[in-house]
Every structure is written in structure tokens, then in C-alpha cells.
Amino acid sequence: MTKMYNVTVETSGVDATEGKEWANELANVYADMAVSDVNVSGSKISFKAGMTGMDDTEAEDIKMKVDEYLVMHEAFAVKKVEVR
């Protein structure tokens, strides 16, 4: 079973559709990543993320992938990324 973490990306403002597409595309870019329960509210994008087939995934692993993806795909200004 994939261990899922809660991810919150605080932005300076993001369109709801764009935010959902961005989070779902994250799973397409990283084939071993699962993303679910995407929610965009005001300036926050929140979702659950995990690495499929890897029971030893830690929050830092997910944060590294999200940070890397943010550099590759600068769709909006990010204030903070939190993974729990």
C-alpha cells in the first residue's frame, strides 16, 4: 500500500482549475507518484501524494519531488510548501 502524505502549497493566488491541473500533472511527470484529493482554495493547493510501491517513503522525499516540479513548471508564485 502506498504511504500518502498531505501536501500544501501556499501561493500568491492561483486559479482553481489551473491548480488542480498542476497537481494532477505532477503524477504524470513522476510515474511512481500517486496524487489524490486535490483541493484548491484561494491561495492554497492541497493534495495527498505518495510514491507507489515504496513503503519507506518519507515526507522529505515527497517535498523534494514537489520542489523539483515547481522549478520545472513555474505556473504560479509559491510562498511555502509543506508536507506532513
Of 78, 82, 60, whose CA–CA distance to 6 is shortest? Answer: 82
Model pTM? 0.92
CATH class of the 5-83 domain in this structure: alpha beta
pLDDT given for residue 1 in this prediction = 67
Measured in whole angstroms, the distance separating CA 70 from the mean position of its chain's CA atoms is 9
Per-residue pLDDT of 15-73, as tens digits, reads 899 999 999 999 899 989 999 999 999 899 999 999 998 888 999 999 999 999 999 88
DSSP assignment of 21-43 equals HHHHHHHHHSTTEEEEEEEEETT
- SS3 at position 69: helix
Q: Where do the structural domains in the chain lie, given as residue ranges?
A: 5-83
